[in-house]
Amino acid sequence: MVNVEDFNKYIENNVKNTVEKYKLLDKNEKIAVALSGGKDSILTLHMLNKFKDDYDLDLIAITIDEGISGYRNDGVEVARKNAEDLGVKLVEKSFGDELEFKLDDIHDFYKSACIPCGVFRRYLLNRTAYEVGAIKIATGHNLDDEIQSFLMTFARADFKRFRKFGPKLDTIHKKLIPRIKPLWNLPEKDVGMWAVLNNIDVHFAECPYSHTSARAKMKEFLNQMESEQKGTKSNILKSFQKTLQFEKKTAKLYECEKCGEPSSLNICKACEMIEEIKNSIL
Ligand code: SF4
């Protein structure tokens, strides 16, 4: 039988260690928490709210509604409830209002719905965080997410993306709000256990498009490996940390000629895809 108090202490210490070791927070910062309503983002909000007074943080939460029927509305409701319970202001944006299409309308234009979902969610999140004056965006990426992303990038030999890993990303453009990942060293199963043990309202449902993603396959593979050979995940993380020391190069960023958002090319990925989508719809 798990002792809830001890377990909560373990969670808090794990997150605190990551925050302190990698200097994720400074005093008097305005931090935007990317709040989907899933267990990881909810724990991130609860933990930062706990550290709020120590660091004099100004917390704000941002929820992006991608427009996934039968799924996202429940997540948004959970996000609202948790933000309200903790007294954190929630800013809500949606693909429908901001981009004039929902993910449901365009999901089959791509090999996986996760491709446009990720591009447009990051786009709106960054733009909104900049608009509200946040200095950093805290995301709920846990240890399993990070290992999956690392292996997927490794499998594609996409070495430029390595700079996007790690618990804290550098500021490389004034309009690109750097990410921090307080749950970087916390296994996914412990996040779920925290929510259940504490009876926290989280959105556990699985996205109807998740089976289309390469990530889902990588997750299954890693869980299988871990069950057969305990320690696989933490060994991958160790290799990953060593790789990071060599591959942290800074990319040059410009401002997109269409929307002004930071981009590695003249036109950002979101604008390029919006143009493709408009051409496909018309
Ligand atoms: Fe978006 Fe894919 Fe996540 Fe669903 S599983 S919310 S489509 S990234």
pLDDT, tens digit, 9 for 90 and up, residues 216-233: 888 889 999 989 998 888
- Cβ of residue 207 lying under 6 Å from some atom of ligand 1: yes
For tokens 């447009």, the residue is 120
Laid out side by side, the sheet with 58-65 consists of: 89-94, 58-65, 30-34, 136-138, 179-180
From 114, 120, 152, give the residue whose CB has the most ligand 1 atoms within 8 Å, as the site to mutate: 114
- Cβ of residue 148 lying under 6 Å from some atom of ligand 1: no
The b-or-e profile of 200-209 (16+ CB within 10 A means b, else e) is eebbeeebeb
pLDDT of residue 244: 65
The b-or-e profile of 143-155 (16+ CB within 10 A means b, else e) is bbbbbbbbbbbbe
Amino acid at the residue 141? H
Instruction: Give per-residue pLDDT as tens, 95-127.
Output: 999 999 999 999 999 989 999 999 999 999 999
On the question of pLDDT at 282 being above 60, the answer is: no
From 65, 109, 210, 215, give the residue whose CB has the most ligand 1 atoms within 8 Å, as the site to mutate: 210
pLDDT of residue 52: 96
Instruction: Give per-residue pLDDT as tens, 150-204.
Output: 888 877 777 666 667 789 987 778 899 999 999 999 999 999 999 999 999 999 9
- Indicate the pTM of the whole model: 0.90
pLDDT of residue 68: 97
Q: Which residues pair with 31 in a beta bridge?
A: 59, 136
- Cβ of residue 113 lying under 6 Å from some atom of ligand 1: yes
